[in-house]
Amino acid sequence: MHLLCPDLAALPNIRHGFFTRQGGVSVGLYASLNCGPGSGDAPEKVFANRAIVAGTLGAAPGALVTAHQIHSNRAVIVEKPWTHKDAPQADALVTNRPGIALGVLTADCLPILLADNERKIIAAAHAGWKGAFDGIIEATVEAMRKLGANSESITAAIGPGIAQHSYEVGPEFFGRFMQRDMLNRDCFLPALRQDHHLFDLKAYAKKRLQSAGVFQVTVLENDTCAEEEKFFSWRRTCLRKEKSYGRQISAIMIKNSPNT
C-alpha cells in the first residue's frame, strides 16, 4: 500500500510513506486509496482513505494535513492541524510539531519528503515542473532553515512521479528551461517527434535540491504514468480522455515519542 525510502525509514524520529492507489475504499476511476478531496470522488470515501493513511503513520485522522496545491513556490509552516476547508493555498508544508502528518497529493507531479532527524524538522513538497521551476524546493528548504534545520543534515526523498520516457514536452517548454540555464539540457532527451523532448522531472528536482544545499537525496524510480495498477496519473487520464482521476498521497510525521 505504501513505499518507503530506506534513508528516511532509518531515521529514528520520523515516520513516512509514499502511498500508492491501493488499499482504500474508493471505486471506479478512483479505486481505491484516492486521497484528493478535489478529485470528484465521494467526500466520505476520500476522508475514509485519508484516515487509513493517518492510521498507518500512527497519527490521529485529523492530524493528517494537506494544502490547496496551486503549483506555486509557497511553503507554509504548520503549527496545528486544520480542516480541508481551512487549508491554505501552498505547495509545501513544514513543521517541527510531533504528531502532525504533512501530506502532499500527486498524480504525476513529484512528492518530495524531507527531514532533519536530529533537529526534528520535516517537510512535504509538491513539485510539478512549474513549482520546481519557480522555486518551491528552495522555498521548502528555506522554511525548514527558519525552524532551525541545517540543510546539510536534511535527508530528502523524491517519490513516485512521471518518468522521463513518459514525459514528452514541446519546443516552448524546452526553450523556457534553456533560457533559464543551459545546464538544464542534462534533463532532456530528444523525442521521436521533431522539436519535442523527453523531460526528466526527477533529475531536475534533484538538481534543485542540491542547489539548495541538500545532498542526501534518494530518488524512487516509479513511473506514475506507466504503472497504472499502483498510481493515479493526470497524463494517462488525459491521453485516454477519461473524465477524472484520483490522487495518491505521500506523508511524513515526527514521532510523538521514541515509544510510539
Q: Tell me, rounded to whole angstroms, the distance of Cα 172 from its chain centroid.
A: 25
Average pLDDT of the segment spanning 173-179: 98
pLDDT of residue 260: 43
Average pLDDT of the segment spanning 213-225: 98
Tell me: the pLDDT tens digits for 43-101? 999 999 999 999 999 999 999 999 999 999 999 999 999 999 999 999 999 999 999 99
Tell me: the pLDDT tens digits for 1-50? 899 999 999 999 999 999 999 999 999 999 999 999 999 999 999 999 99
Q: Which three cell numbers stand for residue 48?
A: 475514509
Cα–Cα dist 260/257, whole Å: 6
Q: Which three cell numbers stand for residue 179?
A: 533560457
Let me know: does 94 contact 143? Beta carbons within 8 Å. Answer: yes
pLDDT of residue 1: 83
Q: Is the pTM of this model over 0.95?
A: yes
Go through the domains of the chain in sequence order and give each one's CATH number.
Answer: 2-154+222-254 (3.60.140.10)
Is residue 258 scored above 70 in pLDDT?
no
pLDDT of residue 184: 98
Q: What is the SS3 assignment for 226?
A: coil
Residue 185, number of CB atoms within 10 A of its CB: 12
Q: Which of 204, 18, 4 is nearest to 105 (CA)?
A: 18
Average pLDDT of the segment spanning 198-206: 98
